[in-house]
């Protein structure tokens, strides 16, 4: 395991965070409507390895309940100033419990070779099957 601490921010710097990420576990691309529209590329970080250092009041929050669910599965966060999607918080057993979904493009200090070697895990969030790969990953 190669756990590295990344200290990064939104575009304007109002929201700052740290996340301990092991890229050897891979990154995630999801086909749910939100991730597909945002072209999200994520690192799933356990809540215990994520720290919001500044900007809590600068974040807007968006929650959406997928069809067939009793409540939202993830709380999306955005910087109110620059509009960049900041790490969202979720809690799902299949994703390991409480987690933060960190956008890979936010990680300015990432080692490009390490990122290129990291496996990409595709999840079928569109059909609420986060433990399965979607049938079509060409546009993720």
What does the pLDDT look like over 96-137, one tens digit per residue? 889 999 999 999 889 999 999 999 999 998 888 888 999 999
What CATH number has the domain spanning 4-126? 2.170.150.70
- Predicted local distance difference test score (pLDDT) of residue 72: 85
Domain boundaries, the chain: 4-126
1 has pLDDT over 70: no
- The rounded distance, in Å, linking the Cα atoms of 15 and 50 is 13
User: Model confidence over 23-79: pLDDT tens digits?
Assistant: 999 999 999 888 999 999 999 999 999 999 999 999 999 998 877 788 888 899 999
């Amino acid at each position: 395991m190669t756990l590295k601490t990344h200290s990064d921010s939104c575009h304007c710097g109002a929201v700052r965070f740290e996340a301990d990420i092991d890229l050897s576990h891979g990154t995630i691309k999801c086909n749910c409507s939100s991730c597909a529209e945002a072209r999200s590329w994520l690192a799933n970080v356990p809540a215990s390895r994520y720290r919001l250092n500044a900007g809590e009041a600068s974040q807007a929050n968006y929650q959406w309940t997928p069809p067939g669910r009793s409540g939202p599965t993830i709380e999306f966060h955005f910087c109110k100033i620059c509009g960049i999607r900041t790490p969202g918080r979720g809690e799902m057993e299949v994703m390991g419990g409480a987690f933060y979904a960190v956008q890979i493009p936010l990680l300015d200090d990432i080692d490009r070779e390490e990122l290129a070697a990291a496996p990409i895990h595709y999840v079928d969030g569109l059909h609420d099957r986060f433990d399965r790969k979607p049938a079509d990953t060409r546009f993720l």
